[in-house]
Amino acid sequence: MPSLVSLKIMSKIGQKAITIPQGAQVTVDYNKVTVKGPKGELNQTFRPEIKISVKDGIIEVKRINDSILAKSLHGLSRTLINNMTLGVTEGFSKQLKIVGTGYRAKVENKDLILTVGFSHPVKIVPPAGIEFNVKDNVLITITGYDKQLVGQISATIRNVRPPDPYKGKGLRYIDEVVRKKSGKAAAKAAAA
């Protein structure tokens, strides 16, 4: 039986070719990838250990050698390029929900205004490529073509008022489960 060191382990994700979606244009200049589409334009420079090529509407991501660094970057690079192509054609979105009496949100001149228990409303200005949408004053949708930026802005909004561990009030992701702690009274009753 051959040892694990002698086996040539390939990245399952890195091996998959990326089909360029309709409406997207991909150009590769050495290791700088530029993707243009109906929603916007993204570009990113990748490490020299990764070789990126475009042929007949398919993007191939290969590593130049079997070093540990090249192996670790192979699948990551492929996923980042795939997210770029999906972002400029379809876009990405995240949803946050506001829980709490009197807590609400609204969009004013593209800015998100949060009223979440502070003495003043909190204003969040969207960076380029990000849009806010509020439904029923409690459901916030963040949309954009850059997946990393959508995730970062969502985390920034959530950090304005994270969910309280005792009452559950605050901002949370739509699919987030908040485990509530029992308060002092419940802890004393359990101990007695």
* pTM (two decimals): 0.83
In the chain, the amino acid numbered 17 is A
Question: What pLDDT, on the 0 to 100 scale, is given for residue 6?
Answer: 44
- Rg of the chain over all Cα atoms, to the nearest angstrom: 23
Q: Enumerate the domain spans of the chain.
A: 12-89, 92-173
Contact in structure between 105 and 112 (CB atoms under 8 Å): yes
Contact in structure between 87 and 34 (CB atoms under 8 Å): no
Query: Could you tell me which CATH class the domain 12-89 is placed in?
Result: alpha beta
Q: Is the pLDDT of residue 191 over 50?
A: yes
- 36-40, 70-74, 173-177, 182-186, range with the lowest pLDDT: 182-186
Each residue of 46-88: pLDDT tens digit? 999 999 999 999 999 999 998 899 988 999 999 999 999 999 9
- 120-134, 139-153, 166-180, range with the lowest pLDDT: 166-180
- In this prediction, what percent of the chain has a pLDDT beyond 90? 72
- 69-73, 106-110, 181-185, range with the lowest pLDDT: 181-185
- Kind and range of the H or E element at 91? none
CATH code for the structural domain at 92-173: 3.90.930.12
